[in-house]
Amino acid sequence: MVFRTLVLKLAAFKPFEKLTKSKLFRPLVKRFVAGEDLDTALKVGEDYVKQGYLVSMDLLGENVATKQEADAETSAYIEMANRIIASPQRDAMNISVKLTALGMDLSDEIAVENYKKILDVCKPHDIFVRADMEASQYCGRTVKIIEQLFANYTNCGTVLQAYLHRTPGDIQTMIGLKARVRIVKGAYLEPDTVAYQIKSKVDEMYVAGAKTLLLDGNYPAIATHDEKIIALIKEFIKQEAIPRERYEFQMIFGVRRDLQEMLLKEGYNVRIYIPYGAAWYPYFSRRLAERPANMLFIAKSLFKK
């Protein structure tokens, strides 16, 4: 957790952002980001589906400042949706959106209006559109938006972060709705007033939340690259005789491909989160913060001839 905090603080400095856009970081960026355009990313997603994976497509970008920018992001998501609808692999593909990219910083009403436009395109084709969870100040608002929309849009759902103190209550809210949840540990820099700071406690809360969702949730997504947690979850699934069609594992493009392949070979549903777009820096910095090995990769490259 200390390493993650240091990297996230470092990522806020402009010189570090400039460095990550240099040639030095390019191989690592390409590892985590499936291209800067829809054509490239969609091909990556379709190739994963051909291997037997499910995928979730995500256009990177967040915190737009104007209504025009929010409208442009919405149009880009609708283009993505239409391309997925036209794809032979569409039944294995869904979409992740960030509500701040749809105008949430301007108002919840603008974000809801734009989210509904995307949901309207996807609903007749049974394409699920998940609202990604962002920093803690957006959490309650995002949960309320899902509560507001779910009666008419059962193809919406969200993400819950195990490190937030409020998450057990939000899990029960989503279970009551029957809305689909992706559970993650959490990747933002948060104060101890709202989030657990000790890794062992975050892991404990993650496992507890995942178990609750597996027992009572609607097709939860267990999103983790932590081998110990995956082993615990697999043992719980076996003990409770939970059918594999009732849940899926989710992993990020470029992270622990060995685990992705292992779970797929064992017969689990595995969905790969496919991020793309030019606005990749905030996403990329969070990926660096999650694993010391990612920074080690950079350090080694500095000494290559």
- Domain map of the chain by residue range? 34-279
| Contact (Cβ atoms closer than 8 angstroms) between residue 251 and residue 211 | no
pLDDT in tens, 155-166: 999 999 999 999
d(CA 264, CA 65): 41
Confidence of residue 285 (pLDDT cuts 50, 70, 90): low
| Contact (Cβ atoms closer than 8 angstroms) between residue 271 and residue 221 | yes
**Whether the predicted pLDDT of 23 surpasses 80:** no
**Whether the predicted pLDDT of 61 surpasses 90:** no
Active-site positions read 132, 182
pLDDT at 298: 44
pLDDT in tens, 215-237: 999 999 999 999 999 999 999 99
**Whether the predicted pLDDT of 203 surpasses 70:** yes
d(CA 52, CA 84): 17
Cross-strand bridge partners of residue 57: 95, 274
**Per-residue CA distances from 11 to 8, 16, 187, 284, 295 (Å):** 5, 6, 13, 10, 12
What's the pTM? 0.85
- Of 38, 51, 127, the residue nearest 85 (C-alpha): 127
Fold of 34-279: TIM Barrel (3.20.20)
Confidence of residue 282 (pLDDT cuts 50, 70, 90): low
